Amino acid sequence: MTYHRVLLKLSGEALMGNLGYGIDPKVVTEIAGEIAEVIASGIQLVIVVGGGNIFRGVKAASAGMDRATADYIGMIATVMNAMTLQDALERINVPTRVQTAIAMQEIAEPYIRRRAIRHLEKGRVVIFGAGSGNPFFTTDTTAALRAAEVDAEVIFKATKVDGVYDCDPHLNPNARLYQSLTYGYVLTHELGVMDSTAIALCKENNIPIVVFNLSVRGNIVRAVKGEPVGTIVGGFCEVI
Ligand code: UDP
């Protein structure tokens, strides 16, 4: 299976590495190197980046902050990550554009769907910052939305584990890894692949989600080239 246009969802935590907070430049450089390989193979790539390594709206709201305000701060955090990734990519000569869903025209382009598609056609990596621009949403939902908007064939969701398990592999050594799952199964069993809004959006638009381990070197390239890594959501249910 070779893809033409794909969306990579990087959580903020993916950029954090083993640090407890913020960005590990070494990890970002490694991710950028893998992305460069993807681009070199001619695949068009959009990236939605999270912000959980810096600020999470829900957490701040549970400590008493107004939820919408907290979420806007969370969205701004994603822009920091987007710019960091852009910098790492451009240092190794990968052309990029950052587009934000909240206008910050001095530092990034505003999100314009047709313009994003044009960038992709020209071989630029498009990094979407500021989530969907709406509080009460997540960057996972943004990934589903943008994938549908730009006609990405698949979402690659980078995580710290090998895929989706029937229970927490850190707590239970007998946890079983799913090879594939249906959207319905993920929703009814409340598996923490992505939030339910994101899964529902992918289901409606028939966009498969591949959940894979980012910390295994070379996995981004393997996943994007269609090699079996992790768990695919969208097909049928099968345990490895
Ligand atoms: N956020 C939001 N609307 C969006 C996307 C993100 O309000 O469309 C806020 C929300 O507060 C969230 C924060 O941005 O906690 C960081 O995004 P997320 O938690 O999705 O990042 P990740 O878990 O992928 O690092």
Per-residue pLDDT band for 236 (boundaries 50, 70, 90) equals low
Range of the structural domain that residue 63 is part of? 5-234
In short, whether 111's Cβ falls inside 6 Å of ligand 1 is no
Q: Domain total for the chain? A: 1
Taking the model in full, what pTM does it have?
0.96
Q: Residues 6 or more apart from 188 whose CB is under 8 A from it?
A: none
Give per-residue pLDDT as tens, 55-100: 999 999 999 999 999 999 999 999 999 999 999 999 999 999 999 9
Is 240 domain-assigned? no
Residue 220 belongs to domain with CATH number: 3.40.1160.10
Alpha-carbon gap, residue 53 to 139, rounded angstroms: 13
CA of 195 to the centre of ligand 1 (A): 11
Is 225 domain-assigned? yes
Question: Is the distance from CB of 102 to CB of 23 less than 8 angstroms?
Answer: no
CA of 144 to the centre of ligand 1 (A): 13
Give per-residue pLDDT as tens, 169-206: 888 989 999 999 999 999 999 998 999 999 999 999 99
How much of the chain is helix, strand and coil, in % rounded to 5?
Answer: 40, 20, 40
Is 239 domain-assigned? no
The pLDDT value given to residue 197:
97
Is 97 domain-assigned? yes
